[in-house]
Amino acid sequence: PISCADFVVKGKRIAIYIDGAAFHAGARLRRDKLIRARLRLSSQPWVVMEWQASDLSRGEALFDTINGTTT
Tens of pLDDT, residue by residue over 14-53, are 999 998 666 667 888 888 889 999 999 999 999 999 998 8
Q: Which of 41, 42, 63, 43 is nearest to 51 (CA)?
A: 63
Quote the Cα angle for 20-26-29, to 5°. 50
User: Residue 71's pLDDT is what?
Assistant: 44
User: CA-CA-CA-CA torsion for 11, 66, 56, 17, nearest 10 degrees?
Assistant: 50
